Amino acid sequence: MSTARQRIAILGGGPSALTAAYHLTSDERLRERYDITLYQMGWRLGGKGRSGRGRDGRIEEHGLHILFGFYQNFFALIRDCYDELKRPAGHPLATWRKAFHPHSFGVVEDWFQGRWHHWPIEFPGNEATPGGDAALNGSWDYVTLVLHTVVEALAGWRTERGLGDRLFPRERWEGTPDEAPTSAGRPDAGVFRALRLLRAALKLAGKTRQTLERHAPTVLGLVRQARRLVVESLHRRSQESVRAFRYFAYVDFWSTVFIGMMADRLYEPGALHALDEYDLREWLARHGALEDTLQSAFVRTIYGAAFSYERGDPRQQRVAAGTALRALFRMGFTYKGAAYYKMRSGMGDTVFAPLYLVLKQRGVKFEFFHKVESLHLTPGKDAIDSVRLTRQVELKNPDKEYEPLVLVEDLECWPAEPRWEQVRGAEQVKGHDLESYYTPWKGVGSVTLKAGEDFDQVLLATPVGCIPFLCEELLAHSQRWRDMVEHVKSVQTLSLQLWLGKELGELGWDMPPPLLSLYVDPMNTWADMSQVLHTEPWPEHHRPRSVQYFTGPQEGPDRPPPASDHGFPARETEKAKQEVLTFLRNHLTALLPGAVDRHLPPHFDWNLLVDPEGRQGEARLEAQYWRSNCDPAERCTLALPGATKYRMKAGDTGYSNLFITGDWIDNGLYVACMEGAVQGGILAARALSGVRFPLIGEDMGWDGPAPAATARVIPLEAPRREEARPGRKVG
């Protein structure tokens, strides 16, 4: 074997790219094998998860980021990263347990009989620790999950929360060792035995159904009639109260899912992929779900959680059925410890700064301010011949690497702007967005990477929305690439952060800090993120008492316009500002009644917004932070019906030295989230190296490989009129 190190050029610095680099340098043998250089547009890492420190050291996020308890591969990565950093005990984020805290309370907003209703949900905790070596929990964890769910249904969320606080005290979280007893989420033989029995039962039920349909259709009709009577009885009672309606929708949804699993034989490998040809509501309706259930908060939450609004339009909610069911199963039945985790500082501080520091220690090279412009093919059209980049700035000391991090309260952070003191001619560059494809700034020169000289393999780690901007030759040459770009779409989003002069309780919220979904579009998701304020060094005379994050899909074009449309981000940002103003004027006080201006009810009290410059009225919004995530690198990948089969695998691009990674590749999860991005990075590292790095969840056998684009899909039978007729719309 040759002793020369293989040169890998990674284009992009999001979570997938960093995960791939992390695994490719995970031991000394691999570090001797690979020479890795990562090229990043702008001055910071993180992709759609990036954050920066702005005025007064405040955290400015790309959006609202929550880490769910089923993100096993993400937490495995971050736990290993923090262990390798070995920060001193006095460091603000010395351990991963200090950086991420468990939370269990969620709220769904439900529009019922002309007004909003809170639907509080206390998710039961368990003794498991996220990031272990198994996706499933132990048998006792599932027994207690059922028992706690029954307690909450009968006695309410407050009783369940009190019980959870006694069983899983939050104050002991940071001091709990990662090596917990056997109940720490390891699936025992009983779990796998139960799964085998469940699959066998489903298979038998499916065969029984086939027999009934062939020989006794009247018996099958009686079974469906019995289900219809039960559901319609609950439906009639659902008119009495929002609580009764929720029970009806819950029963109708899960009974429909179970019938659909038998009818479509979802226990067979690859069945969920085949189901991805259909929208979730379409599939549910075909198996008898009533219209009220399809429009209920329970179902709409599934769409909202993944920003599944095509073009950002709430009237065009679409999500692939198989992908939705897979994500629902993993989110509800494989979370460890808690349903979700909040970061104790910005995502850049808790995730991407530690990953950067570890990768630097391992010898990975980072070329910041390098914007990828185009990939070019060899004459034979079978490999990447060269990559052209724009060098965006010139450093004052070209012999020294750019130092991207700053210290804020002794914590390594990414700044919200470049560290201009290191940039030559900074005054000419200021005002240009170096993280946008639409910037008119032409840079200070170009760089061409050549195959065999500068790289041996290329890992394309940019979002799918960037491919038309970078891969013109590949799209012209390959139908597969054109199909992928055509069908794997993305949506732009918007986000808002409000620093307020009142605590959450003073704002009129009488429940624990929530993760809230399904409020008014486009600001339909909210979380109180006041836990990060301790890392923001505000001056005492205008220190906020809480900070609230909002996010949601923003209506916009199906695909980003060409890079020559330099004014596009400014137009979308102004549109986002107007949407924020509409939200604050008309909707925030219904959610937080303590934010009402007592001199002008029910209007919002603008004086609650912390503004160091002391502006008045709506002008105080200028001191807050909002953004339109409309750039191709910022848009959220959608899991649309019929699109899964067009996703490429990390190592199957059609070009011998080109690999891909991201939440948009064939990664087994398909919803846009941190876990999907990390899984994409692991798969890319496998494809590049041939090393089978661990991928937690593979052993579940929940689904098989994605079928080819021409594979047969599950035929859906026509809806039965008596089961699919519309009910009363409630939301």
Q: Tell me, what CATH number does 388's domain have? A: 3.50.50.60
Per-10-residue mean pLDDT, the chain, length 731: 82 98 97 98 97 97 95 97 96 97 95 91 91 84 86 89 85 78 52 60 59 50 68 83 89 86 76 91 92 92 92 95 93 93 97 98 98 97 98 95 96 98 96 96 96 97 96 97 97 97 97 95 96 96 96 95 96 97 96 95 96 96 97 96 96 97 94 95 97 87 50 55 38 39
Say how many C-beta atoms besides its own lie within 10 A of residue 162's C-beta: 12
Opening angle at CA 287, ends 283 and 292, nearest 5: 80
- H/E/C letters for each residue in 691-725? CCCCCCCHHHCCCCCCCCCCCCCCCCCCCCHHHHC
- H/E/C letters for each residue in 125-150? CCCCCCCCCCCCCCHHHHHHHHHHHH
pTM of the model: 0.92
| pLDDT the model gives residue 217 | 47
Tokens of 269: 């490998």
What confidence tens digit (pLDDT) does each residue in 11-68 have? Answer: 999 999 999 999 999 999 999 999 999 999 999 999 999 999 999 999 999 999 999 9
Residues 470 and 569 in one domain: no
Residues 544 and 503 in one domain: yes
Residues 310 and 220 in one domain: yes
Rounded Cα gap, residues 303 and 280, in angstroms: 9
Rounded Cα gap, residues 69 and 330, in angstroms: 9
Listed in order, strand segments (DSSP E) in 392-542 are 394-395, 406-408, 411-413, 423-424, 445-450, 457-460, 490-491, 493-500, 515-517, 525-528
Residues 475 and 497 in one domain: no
Rounded Cα gap, residues 640 and 307, in angstroms: 11
Closest by CA to 323, choosing from 683, 711, 718, 673, is 673
- Look at residue 23 and tell me if it is in a domain: yes
Residues 413 and 521 in one domain: no
Residues 382 and 445 in one domain: yes
Tokens of 103: 């939370």
| pLDDT the model gives residue 717 | 56
Domain range enclosing 602: 493-553+561-629
Residue type, 69: G
- Look at residue 190 and tell me if it is in a domain: no
- Look at residue 616 and tell me if it is in a domain: yes
Tokens of 657: 């030295």
- Look at residue 97 and tell me if it is in a domain: no
Residue type, 341: Y
Rounded Cα gap, residues 148 and 364, in angstroms: 47
Enumerate helices (H) and strands (E) in the chain, giving the number of each: 24, 26
> How many Cα atoms within 13 Å fall on the side-chain side of residue 133?
6
Residue type, 177: P
Residues 429 and 503 in one domain: no
Are the CB atoms for 612 and 623 separated by under 8 Å? yes
- Look at residue 168 and tell me if it is in a domain: no
- Look at residue 716 and tell me if it is in a domain: yes
Instruction: Determine phi and psi for 667, rounding to 5 degrees.
Output: -110, 0
| pLDDT the model gives residue 227 | 73
Rounded Cα gap, residues 104 and 122, in angstroms: 6
Residues 475 and 432 in one domain: yes
Tokens of 290: 């009533």
Residues 328 and 362 in one domain: no
Closest by CA to 138, choosing from 198, 185, 207, 72, is 185
Domain count, the chain: 3
Quote the distance between the C-alpha of residue 211 and its chain's center: 42
| pLDDT the model gives residue 202 | 56
Say how many C-beta atoms besides its own lie within 10 A of residue 286's C-beta: 21
| pLDDT the model gives residue 348 | 97
Residues 663 and 720 in one domain: no
| Order of strands, sheet of 67-68, starting from the edge strand that comes earlier in the sequence | 67-68, 340-343, 100-103
For the chain, the first-to-last Cα distance in angstroms comes to 65
What confidence tens digit (pLDDT) does each residue in 544-559 have? Answer: 999 999 999 999 999 9
Rounded Cα gap, residues 131 and 602, in angstroms: 46
Residues 349 and 462 in one domain: yes
Domain boundary among 629, 656, 679: 629
Tokens of 227: 């289900």
- Look at residue 146 and tell me if it is in a domain: no
- Which residue in this structure is represented by tokens 């039962």? 201
Domain boundary among 597, 629, 661: 629
Rounded Cα gap, residues 141 and 438, in angstroms: 50
| pLDDT the model gives residue 222 | 59
Residues 718 and 696 in one domain: no
- Look at residue 160 and tell me if it is in a domain: no
